Chain A
């Protein structure tokens, strides 16, 4: 960074550029905000009317174009499938990120893994679904676990890469201090690096979970469909909220479309509340740590 080049030309031009930049930053936020409000507003407008306790807990109706029934099985299915996917992807992804940043560095294996993780983020969700269909569904039938596997494959590279980047940001000084006190590498990671990087890791994980919860294509090849709640992870087909939305949101039959949009609103609310809670709890511990 060359200091000398900062003092050039009249300060008016620099002030203008600065003001423009600031305006751009504020504008960016607004540019994102407008479609967000429009989309959420649209979902609320189309879906809020059907929400009720019975809507959230009743079984799916067998005839979906007739009014009645609820989305209970789909909520349970989404929770189980996304929960299982998270349980697989987050620990593995975090470990992968730790490996890349703490042990791998610039070594060959690490570069390859890093590169492959990037490639994996580009695999379309439909291809992931197809892949799990071939190696799992054909062998073990339709089940929630197949869906969880497919979603976990989608989440894994994101968590690895975001974890790695956030771990990289933990300053050298902190690590050095820990080593100086005789801490071993694993201990340093566990007690110093990970806690410092936790908020960033959490962010990455939450975004991956939010994305997985909203994916349709991987589920099309792995879970089939049911109208009654199936709490089993490994046995029998299942159903999930994104599937419901995809099947019925465009239907000219009001009952089916309303149910689909109610499901969309429910999904957004569930994932958002979960994200909020996670952030609040993490921030709470963070405050206590600094106290």
Chain B
């Protein structure tokens, strides 16, 4: 009969036996999902089976998911995991060769390039999207803001909606005296980086907080975690204003301010206005470009770029082949037409052809 021993066994068994069983099963099995190359499957696919892992910018994630879905449907033996996690994570992961591709809203600084153990990098632009200045003021359906006004609002120099500066931007519109609640990001973000870069560029005499992924906001402001967090906060407070990516702002039902661009026109965030900004941007040889505060009457001022980074010299035949095919798909007309479904603007033809040409630089063993 089990007495004291039984009790000891029972307690420890309950806790660890289940755990051990799971562990044994897990160790014993091997995942077929992470094997490198194997025979081709499926009649319609001519690609080797492979699993690609990527991480990085959450800004581009909605498009990445759409592209992965479409691509893997055509090639059943392929699995692609994109984890998001932020541009910084993508860069760190690619440095350590933990992923096959990284999404990033800002390109690495030259000083960081030696950290990439996979060698030289290639940057592929593929989509872009606007950053909205979203607001929630009851009764206010249309709002126009110039860069200086936006800067003053976010620095808390302007505290109520009927401030003269806002009135000046919106002649003839009756503005309530509600106090302004500014919402920013609590987490570091490429969106903050691009938004503050815009303010630094377009309102240099007014904006003093600098341009970076993390900024020292005034203390009488609110913070939200991630674009959705900011969207929720703006939605919940009458009188709130915040900078949010286009996709989440649209889905939250928020209204966007039309921002005065470099040509002096108030332009609302839209995919067309983003394309207009991209058209005018200068493309460097490494395919970096800057669409922020772009010239042109139809350009939206706060357009955010984004890239997929890969190592130029691939080390695995199957993975390299699939990666190249995936990027080719993204830059094909099918892939580019997916952009609008995810609330992104596709590349203008000059940028697209340069990106497509760069595909040939990927070296697959």
Query: Which of B28-36, B141-149, B208-216, B280-288 makes up part of the contact surface?
Result: B28-36
Cα distance A64–B15 when bound, in Å?
Answer: 34
Whether a CB of chain B sits under 8 angstroms from the CB of A289 is yes
Cα distance A198–B5 when bound, in Å?
Answer: 11
**Using a CB-CB cutoff of 8 Å, which residues 232-266 of chain A contact chain B?**
232-237, 247, 250-253
Whether a CB of chain B sits under 8 angstroms from the CB of A153 is no
- On whether the beta carbons of A285 and B65 are closer than 8 Å, the reply is no
Other-chain contact of B33, A90, A196, A228, A252 (Cβ < 8 Å): A228
CB distance from A177 to the nearest CB of B (A): 13
**Using a CB-CB cutoff of 8 Å, which residues 1-59 of chain B contact chain A?**
2-12, 14-16, 18-23, 25-27, 29-31, 33-34, 51, 53, 55
Whether a CB of chain B sits under 8 angstroms from the CB of A202 is yes
Which residues of B are found within 8 Å of A288, using beta-carbon distances? 2-3, 6
Closest B residue, CB atoms, query A137? B98
Which of B31, B65, B82, B252 has the most A CB atoms < 10 Å from its CB? B31
Other-chain contact of A225, B30, B83, B252 (Cβ < 8 Å): B83
- On whether the beta carbons of B26 and A233 are closer than 8 Å, the reply is yes
A109-145: contact bitstring with B at CB < 8 Å (1 yes, 0 no)? 0000000000000000000000000000110011010
- On whether the beta carbons of B26 and A62 are closer than 8 Å, the reply is no
Q: Is the interface of A mostly helix, strand, loop or mixed?
A: helix
B contact residues, range: 35 or more
- On whether the beta carbons of B6 and A87 are closer than 8 Å, the reply is no
- On whether the beta carbons of A225 and B81 are closer than 8 Å, the reply is yes
Which residues of B are found within 8 Å of A190, using beta-carbon distances? 8
- On whether the beta carbons of B19 and A289 are closer than 8 Å, the reply is no
CB distance from B118 to the nearest CB of A (A): 13
Cα distance A251–B62 when bound, in Å?
Answer: 12
Other-chain contact of A289, B3, B23, B26 (Cβ < 8 Å): B3
Which residues of A are found within 8 Å of B77, using beta-carbon distances? none
CB distance from A251 to the nearest CB of B (A): 5
Other-chain contact of A192, B4, B34, B55 (Cβ < 8 Å): B4
Query: Which of A10-18, A21-29, A36-44, A275-283 makes up part of the contact surface?
Result: A275-283
Other-chain contact of B81, A138, A226, A231 (Cβ < 8 Å): A226
Which residues of A are found within 8 Å of B55, using beta-carbon distances? 224-225
Query: Which of A1-9, A49-57, A76-84 makes up part of the contact surface?
Result: A76-84
Closest A residue, CB atoms, query B31? A232
- On whether the beta carbons of A195 and B26 are closer than 8 Å, the reply is no
30 examples of A-B residue contacts, CB within 8 angstroms: A62-B72, A83-B20, A83-B26, A90-B16, A138-B96, A190-B8, A195-B4, A195-B5, A198-B8, A198-B11, A224-B55, A224-B99, A225-B84, A227-B81, A228-B79, A230-B31, A230-B33, A233-B23, A237-B53, A250-B229, A251-B248, A252-B251, A252-B253, A274-B18, A278-B14, A278-B15, A282-B7, A284-B10, A289-B2, A289-B6
Q: Which A residues form the contact surface with B (CB < 8 A)? A: 62-65, 79-80, 82-87, 90-91, 94, 137-138, 141-142, 144, 190-192, 194-196, 198-199, 201-202, 205-206, 209, 220, 224-228, 230-237, 247, 250-253, 274, 277-278, 281-282, 284-286, 288-289
